[in-house]
Structure 1
């Protein structure tokens, strides 16, 4: 039997880029489990990535290991010269 995990991971990453607009998510497929790793800026983004992966994973289990990182607001207006 051919190992399709690389193909499945690439397929899911393509969907994450197109549907969830996330490029920096690492996708590892082990058997019927898809592991999502990386950083996102909110819980909402984490859920969006997981949902996009779920659609593309075609029934495989999703293990969301994404980390939410705080992105501070800018101190003030940016000065453009």
Structure 2
């Protein structure tokens, strides 16, 4: 199997995109599913900026496939009380 053939396998594309997300955005919790020519991104990030960054990195690694960004922004607030260690 040639490298070109490998690039067409959904599992290879998914792993390639996840590798790029880990290396460039330090995002390990984004699920990447490839169905046909569409790459689905799912997970949670802390800001809209991070959501766009994840999409840009995925788009660059997706080899021309369409990106369906289903990543949600989750607000992370300050703790209510001081944390106590026992």
CA distance in 1, matches of 2:17, 2:46: 20
Any stretches of 5+ residues in structure 2 without a counterpart?
A: none
Corresponding residue for 1:17?
A: 22
- Using the size of structure 2 for normalisation, the TM-score is 0.82
- SS for the counterpart of 2:71 is strand
Any stretches of 5+ residues in structure 1 without a counterpart?
A: none
Residue 14 of structure 1: how far off its partner (Å): 0.1
Residue 74 of structure 1: how far off its partner (Å): 3.5
- Using the size of structure 1 for normalisation, the TM-score is 0.87
Corresponding residue for 1:8?
A: 13
Q: CA RMSD in A?
A: 2.0
Q: Paired residues, what number?
A: 81
Cα deviation code 1:23-56 (max 9, x no counterpart): 0000000011000000111100100000000001
**Which of these residues, 49, 69, 73, is aligned with residue 74 of structure 2?**
69
